[in-house]
Amino acid sequence: MTASSAESVPTASSLPPESVRHLRAFLDYIQVECGLAANTRKAYGVDLRHFLSVLCDQSVRSLSEVSPRHIEAFVRSSRSSGLSPATVARRLAAVRMFCRFLVLERVLPRDVSSGIDSPKTWHRLPTVLSDRTVRAILAAPADGVDAHALRDRAILAMLYATGMRASEVAALKPADINGHLGVVRVLGKGGKERIVPVAPRAVERVEHYVAEARQGGAGDAVFLSRTGKALRREDIYHIVRKYVRRAAVKAGVSPHTLRHCFATQLLSRGADLRSVQEMLGHADIATTQVYTHVDASRLKAIHKKFHPRG
């Protein structure tokens, strides 16, 4: 559990009705008008309820009274709560979007958040596993031991073969997989659609699961639970963690780790950065560029280990 999730989240009933009304309008705005994902809406909602709670503590009676010092106080409060710089930066990003919305709504005369500096964040390189470790995880579901071995092998294969997010795998539908063309249609963040090539082996595992083990359910998702319901993102996470433990992998591995491995493998074998960006569904190529640093680090480690003057 992260520091942010360990905090008690203020409820709507504990906040001024006017503030709650503007918050709900903002959350609808970023999802409907801006096309941000439901998970982003949820995270911003939590961040902004904390912000509104801090405003209450400072006796701010109306959002029209918000000033830079109130936002600075919120940033200080977040830091003193032991939150990571990245979480504080995300909270500030939510407040900035909210302030710009309040300007649009003519609640604030100007954007009072524009002069607030973001905390410096340490950009950690993503965890990347060796080929041998990935193979051990992919092979971990065992027939006769795991009730959903066919399903889980297919899920692991799709995560690694396509670089999809856990939420994207959970939302996958049979019509999204074209085994003949070797591609998958992915509905990513903000409802943006992309086409990703997929290895025949991964398609075979999905087809085997659908033919032999998938039971008809209420939903039309590919991957279903024991009760026939579509799996959630959290379910995919727990499935991956189960087989990471089975494979005796000590590193903190999640579905996103397999996404990191997918990207790094492509770049290390000569794929261009723009193509990898498109396959991952990154809006900004700067997000994809972190994998060039990962691969450079790997090459340096190899050089140091094997070069006589390393």
| pLDDT for position 124 | 63
| 173 is an active site residue | no
Instruction: Give pLDDT, residue 2.
Output: 42
Per-10-residue mean pLDDT, the chain, length 310: 52 80 94 83 93 91 92 91 85 94 94 82 70 94 91 97 95 94 91 92 95 77 91 94 93 89 88 92 85 66 64
What is d(CA 63, CA 61) in angstroms, rounded to the nearest whole number? 7
C-alpha to C-alpha distance for 123 and 100, rounded to whole angstroms: 27
Burial of 185 per CB tally in 10 Å (0-12, 13-18, 19+):
middle
CATH architecture of 3-104: Orthogonal Bundle (1.10)
Which string of b and e fits 246-283 if b means at least 16 CB within 10 Å? bbebeeebbbbbbbbbbbbbbbeeeeeeeebbebbbbe
Q: Is 96 a catalytic residue?
A: no
List Cβ neighbours of 80 (8 Å cut-off, separation of 6 or more): none
pLDDT of res. 102: 95
Pick the catalytic residue from 165, 205, 214, 260: 165
d(CA 194, CA 29): 24
Q: Which of 44, 160, 209, 291 is catalytic?
A: 291
Q: What is d(CA 232, CA 255) in angstroms, rounded to the nearest whole number?
A: 13
Query: Would you state the pLDDT for residue 5?
Result: 42
Same topology between domain 3-104 and domain 131-306: no
Q: How far apart are CA 256 and CA 127, in angstroms?
A: 9
Partner residues linked to 193 by β-bridges: 187
Orientation angle between helical segments 131-138 and 255-268, nearest 10 degrees: 140
Among 49, 148, 151, 259, which one carries the catalytic annotation? 259
Taking domain 131-306, whether its CATH number is 1.20.140.10 is answered by: no
Closest C-alpha to 281, from 203, 184, 200? 184
User: Does the annotation mark 180 as catalytic?
Assistant: no
pLDDT given at position 284: 83
CA distances from 284 to 141, 271, 278, 288 (A): 35, 17, 10, 7
Instruction: Indicate if 237 belongs to the active site.
Output: no
Residue from 79, 189, 194, 233 carrying the catalytic annotation: 189
276: nearest Cα among 173, 197, 203: 197
307 in catalytic set: no
Verify whether residue 291 is a known catalytic residue: yes
The predicted structure's pLDDT at residue 234: 93
Going from N- to C-terminal start, the domains of the chain cover 3-104, 131-306
Instruction: Supply the pLDDT for residue 299.
Output: 59
